[in-house]
Amino acid sequence: MDDFPQVLTIEEASRYLRIPLSTLYKLAQDGKIPCQKVGRHWRFRKETIDNWLDERSVLPNKPASNQ
C-alpha cells in the first residue's frame, strides 16, 4: 500500500481502511478516529491511522503460565 500519500483525503482513507465512506465520515465526526478538519475537508495522516489500528488490534489471549 505504498501508493498512498502521507496525508490522505477522506476518500483515500476510506479506500486505505477498506470501509465505506459513510462509516469513515461518522467515525471522524464522532472523534473516534484521529484526523483533522482543514476548512470543510477531512485529512488523515497515514502513519497516525496505522498507529491507531495497531493500538486497537485484537490479540488472542495467551494461555496462563504454570509457575
Q: Which CATH number goes with the domain that contains 36?
A: 3.90.105
Task: Tell me if 27 is assigned to some domain.
Answer: yes
Cell of 58: 485484537
Cell of 11: 476518500
Task: Tell me if 49 is assigned to some domain.
Answer: yes
Task: Tell me if 65 is assigned to some domain.
Answer: no
Task: Tell me if 63 is assigned to some domain.
Answer: no
What distance in Å separates the CA atoms of residue 40 and residue 17, rounded to the nearest whole number? Answer: 21
Say whether pLDDT at 1 is over 60.
Answer: no
Task: Tell me if 45 is assigned to some domain.
Answer: yes
Question: ∠ CA 13-52-64 to the nearest 5 degrees?
Answer: 140
Contacts of 16 (CB under 8 A, 6+ apart): 1, 4, 8, 46, 49
Q: pLDDT (tens digit, 9 = 90+) per residue, 41-63? A: 999 999 999 999 999 988 777 66
Q: Is the whole model's pTM more than 0.75, yes or no?
A: yes
Domain count within the chain: 1
Q: pLDDT (tens digit, 9 = 90+) per residue, 10-38? A: 999 999 999 999 999 999 999 999 999 99
Output the pLDDT for position 58: 83
